[in-house]
Chain A
Amino acid sequence: MAGLESPMATRLTMDGLRALFEALRRRGFRLVGPTVQDGAIVYGELQSPADLPVGWTDEQDGGTYRLKRRDDQALFGYAVGPHSWKKFLFPPATRLWQARRTENGGFAFQEETEAPPRFAFIGVRSCELHAIAVQDRVFLQGKHVDPTYQARREQAFIVAVNCGQAGGTCFCVSMKTGPKAVFGFDLALTEILEGGRHQFVVEVGSARGAEVLREIPHEAAAAEDLAAAQRAVDRAAGQMGRTMDTTDIKELLYRNYEHPRWDQVAARCLTCANCTMVCPTCFCSTVEDTADLTGEHAERWRRWDSCFTMDFSYLHGGNVRSSAKSRYRQWMTHKLATWIDQFGTSGCVGCGRCITWCPVGIDITEELRAIRASESPAPSAHAQEAKDADT
């Protein structure tokens, strides 16, 4: 893990942070980041640092989320909320193309030509950098590249933030995805709020980040700044709300498709799909074809979908996964096991959102623990060989 002693480490004051916002806006970026709205910290448009959740923190646990006032003015003193950056890179609704009828009953297509928005993400946590990297593998590294994701991703400017405190459902340490940001950012900030100072240690992560930094007032970080930043990260690492033992996790789940725990969780799961909506790596979508009232103009839209919906797996005459049990099992096995065979990494980054936003508080770490603790011997439903490309 790269220490904060790199020669690139600098320090910003609050004025410097304001200047950073200005510099990004001058470059034509739309700044988005955490902001308080409707009793939660969500990702919305930011005009200045004042739009951040200044002086707010969150209390999270299974099925619980509350905002609370801090006794300081920290800008980033909270964990992640119900939104993730996928809402910008993989928008909930995207028009894929339009078509109009031509003579002889034919039709002509019109691809989308609108320029993609240029986002600057402010306040991306380490787990979220990993989540973006996970979705990069899905949308950019397969045989078919998703053009919407690619266009937005290429241009996105990322200002990461290192967590100084953990959320109640966090387990990035278990998943080796944090709390310190080590890759995938243009700039990374660590907020220092000690002894009357309110400053940010800055680490540069890319040439683009270095360019932007040069335009704003900054100074070299002192050793004590770096030490304070390290303390903040260590504090977060020591506060994890949850843990997950990932030893042999793929084989464990492949062995336990018939484990009785699935029935037990099914009795609680409402198949409300909240977990898939808040999960930063879930990528399932559906395609909707529509026509206007005249029948002359048609469109195809891509929308977020969830494997928890009743007819997600509909095949003429019925659903392959009709029971809640099979749908919960699909989601959790995909997230923690089959994802590894599909994309080479886990689908889970330990952000804890699914635990917080589940209305009945189902906890993925607890479910895994229960299965591991009481395995029943069964042949492994191992389809590793099916991933081989030949034949």
Chain B
Amino acid sequence: MAPRPFHVRRIGRETHDTATLELEPVDGAEGVVFAPGQFNMLYLFGLGEVPISISSDPAAPRGLAHTVRAVGAITTALCRLRRGAVVGVRGPFGSAWPLDGLAGGDVVIVAGGIGLAPLRPVLCRLLAERDRYGRIALLYGARTPADLLYARDLARWRGRFDMQIEVAVDAAAPEAAWRGDVGVVTTLIPRAGFDVAETTVLTCGPGVMMRFTIDALLRRGLAPDRIYLSMERNMKCAIGLCGHCQFGPTFVCKDGPVYRYDRIATLLKVREV
């Protein structure tokens, strides 16, 4: 199936190597209806496709947005697009964060770096129906203060009285005048003070970060079936046919990218699988 053309309505620089593309369908066709956690394949004419998580509000299908980090040829080209450029969109693909099951309980979101992007739609949904949930906390780690995404959202979320938000950076140069915490995101976990019996944790970030986050959560007594993570693998077709994204018996493009931790716990411990 071929990509659908979308215009870049706006491109916002998040950090020196990350930008958020806001896309709207060419020809006014309907937007993309997606569930938080899903991704699209973004296509640049003649160059190729990359899988990028959707980071916009799921309640606004016409306000589709993707936060892209420039790590290769296509993502670098995506970050350099101007307003009006046309991007092909194929999707949405993949499994979603288990939002329906979270109602009535506490939710802790642990995000590292660009891992906040696929979790942003979750926060949009949770905060839009705030009464359905107990405590909500966001623990967010990044490399340096300059690498923090969604500065406006962070400021807005900090201004709410019904949500806890803790941010830590790995390193802060004195010039950054950072008044927040310095340390890895796992050090924020004790800060969240959550009730393990009521809490579900959603986490996304670099593999190492997720592994140590989960380790810290398990040691605090959180049950393995209350942790969800979002994985990534090389993808070409995004529809479970090319074989590239296999992770054990699962295809990350359709059985993931969101997985419940206990279902893949042993596989995660095998190196190079």
Contacts and interface: CB of A to CB of B under 8 A. Distances in A.
Interface in B32-50: 43, 45-49
B270 interface: yes
Given A330-B246, A342-B251, 7 more contacts: A99-B2, A144-B241, A257-B273, A289-B47, A290-B46, A381-B269, A386-B267
Nearest to A100: B45
B233 A320 contact: yes
B92 interface: no
B51 to A, nearest CB: 11
A295 B243 CA distance: 30
A326 B246 CA distance: 13
A224 to B, nearest CB: 48
B273 A285 contact: no
Contacts of A298: 45-46
Nearest to B2: A109
Nearest to A386: B263
A386 B231 CA distance: 13
A342 B248 CA distance: 10
Contact of A307 (B26, B95, B236, B243): B243
B146 to A, nearest CB: 20
A316 interface: yes
B86 A386 contact: no
Given A104-B86, A143-B239, A305-B243, A385 B263 contact: yes
Given A283-B241, A381-B267, A386 B249 contact: yes
| Interface SS of chain B | loop
A138 B248 contact: no
A383 interface: yes
A291 to B, nearest CB: 3
Contact of A381 (B45, B88, B248): B248
Interface string A136-161: 00110011101000000000000000
Contacts of B237: 285, 287
B249 A286 contact: no
B63 interface: no
Contacts of A380: 266
B82 to A, nearest CB: 10
B264 A286 contact: no
B241 A314 contact: no
B45 A142 contact: no
B266 A107 contact: no
30 contacts: A106-B5, A106-B86, A107-B86, A109-B2, A138-B241, A143-B240, A143-B254, A144-B239, A258-B270, A286-B236, A287-B48, A287-B49, A289-B46, A291-B46, A298-B45, A311-B234, A312-B244, A313-B244, A315-B232, A316-B72, A321-B273, A381-B248, A381-B266, A381-B267, A381-B273, A382-B266, A385-B262, A387-B250, A391-B95, A391-B260
